[in-house]
Structure 1
């Protein structure tokens, strides 16, 4: 089968938003390369009569990003035709084992790897976002290592926008026993469930399809949300009914120049800043009550 390989070069600030758009339009896989303040995202689509309309929809949605305070900068779009074997080769080329934080190696599910000191998390990205290489995911994992130590094992955790399920799996490996992972995208839910099975943490993680906190039940002591800044600002006012006493909330996916916007909303709602960590142009925040 032949595929359309669609590559977009954009400003790093809008990377996650554009990756989400590509997935929502039915991408059969996404890979990316970073170069300074630019990112090249490559996505794959069926080579059929629907592709021209899909391409026009993509261009319109990218043009609409400024309405969400996101600047894609100069946008370069190229399209090529690829065969199945080219697609598989690209996955293997772009996704290699990554050491993250002090405790983890994120590895493709198809690679054989062993390590006596670090925990290996195996990820099959499928059509979901989150293989650990992006700054926002790395920052989340490093802050989870730092803050979810002894004493948190019996606490309940909620991972919003779980993507491949990587943060939920990290939490399970850190000893958290009751984790709910949510994503609005059915393809992400499918990928997350498969990765949870691969990493043998089904007994600790439940994956649900849903729009952030809508239709959720119960209270949580730990919340992770690796989202773009405008979704985080939208999320924050909905969290109060789901929080246990003295919660810890880890927020990532925030470009540095949007940090103050997120913190302004957090302070307005009575949260305090506990910790923050920066990597290149990205920042992750830890807030609490």
Structure 2
């Protein structure tokens, strides 16, 4: 395994990150520290030849990793766990996770993983939206109903057109899975079936290893070019952590989902994406912003929202005054 690396000013990285992400997708990692003027950009590749074009375009160096690079990198580090609501804790060291009794509420993704462990803003926002959306779902959830979507704030609900919710058996499709963290989180949130897709074989290999490490077996990992990919059938949730140009291109394919969680979008690209959502008949339930990134929870206007509480949590209707 090889890695392209460049140390540069945070100003240069801010101006170049979108272009780098177009080239590398989820393989791009940016390492920075508060108060420092410089940061490091890294892109992992299976061979030196894969990274030569990046070096010729952006400068930097290419380094070969030792076979035990993950163990070497992680040795002596005890990064803080990441909490996702009250339902999941993501650990990045074996030592920390060994102290936890309830392993069904935890994930272990080593801190040296090339495709992220949930600390990046786009991934963190996606995880929190996923937790919020699926709260109360799962094998032990009570029978619930779908309520009509697209309800304006303050409007009255009708009981017409209700259908059975997928709470007991729901499925997720993870596009641009990277380390597989969203797919793994869905499995911990009791998804019956998960499909995780990435165009990069290294990402899929990493995601499979993370699934084995956490003893999760209900995920179908696939190497697929999303531009040629076809959504096979209706699915409950599609999570897509991709750069906005690709998101806009494949939006018509995503309309089969009942709910969408979209991230990897820069604030300066928000207006363009919102217009694309409107063109495709997709309504926004909630937009989250953190730093220069945004994440959006949305749904096709013709579909139905799972549960009234879902709409309330994502801002669709206000709480009734007592």
Partners of 1:159 and 1:168 within 8 A in 2? yes
User: 2: CA distance between counterparts of 1:197 and 1:16?
Assistant: 32
Partners of 1:97 and 1:105 within 8 A in 2? no
Matched, 1:141 2:127: yes
SS in 2 for 1:275: strand
Bigger drift between 264-273 and 104-113 goes to 104-113
SS in 1 for 2:246: helix
SS in 1 for 2:42: strand
| Structure with more strand by fraction | 1
User: 1:209: which partner in 2?
Assistant: 223
Partners of 1:228 and 1:254 within 8 A in 2? yes
Which of 262, 279, 294 aligns to 1:268? It is 279
SS in 1 for 2:271: helix
SS in 2 for 1:130: coil
Matched, 1:105 2:89: yes
Structure 2 counterparts to residues 68-79 of structure 1, below 5 A: 77-79=59-61
Deviation at 1:109, TM superposition (A): 5.5
User: 1:287: which partner in 2?
Assistant: 298
- Distance of aligned partners of 1:255 and 1:93 in 2 relative to their CA distance in 1, 3 Å threshold: farther
Which of 202, 221, 231 aligns to 2:246? It is 231
Aligned-residue RMSD, C-alpha? 3.6
1:5-44 CA-partner distances (Å, limit 9, x unpaired): 62243424654753674589xx8x9662355897522356
Structure 2 counterparts to residues 247-258 of structure 1, below 5 A: 247-258=258-269
- Distance of aligned partners of 1:255 and 1:192 in 2 relative to their CA distance in 1, 3 Å threshold: same
Deviation at 1:120, TM superposition (A): 2.0
Partners of 1:162 and 1:192 within 8 A in 2? yes
| Greater radius of gyration (CA) | 2
Partners of 1:15 and 1:39 within 8 A in 2? no
User: 2: CA distance between counterparts of 1:107 and 1:16?
Assistant: 28
Deviation at 1:175, TM superposition (A): 1.2
User: 1: CA distance between counterparts of 2:3 and 2:184?
Assistant: 32
Deviation at 1:220, TM superposition (A): 0.7
User: 2: CA distance between counterparts of 1:91 and 1:178?
Assistant: 31
- Matched residue pairs, number? 262
Structure 1: gaps of 5 or more residues: 63-76
Partners of 2:283 and 2:299 within 8 A in 1? yes
SS in 2 for 1:175: coil
- Distance of aligned partners of 1:78 and 1:147 in 2 relative to their CA distance in 1, 3 Å threshold: same
User: 1: CA distance between counterparts of 2:78 and 2:21?
Assistant: 16
User: 1:58: which partner in 2?
Assistant: 54
User: 1:175: which partner in 2?
Assistant: 190
Partners of 1:8 and 1:41 within 8 A in 2? yes
Matched, 1:186 2:170: no
Task: Calculate the TM-score normalised by the size of structure 2.
Answer: 0.68
User: 2: CA distance between counterparts of 1:270 and 1:45?
Assistant: 38
Which of 143, 158, 169 aligns to 2:173? It is 158
1:148-201 CA-partner distances (Å, limit 9, x unpaired): 122434122110010111000111111111111111111111111111111122
User: 2: CA distance between counterparts of 1:195 and 1:257?
Assistant: 33
User: 1: CA distance between counterparts of 2:204 and 2:65?
Assistant: 27
Which of 273, 278, 281 aligns to 2:289? It is 278
User: 2:145: which partner in 1?
Assistant: none
Partners of 1:126 and 1:191 within 8 A in 2? no
Deviation at 1:284, TM superposition (A): 0.4
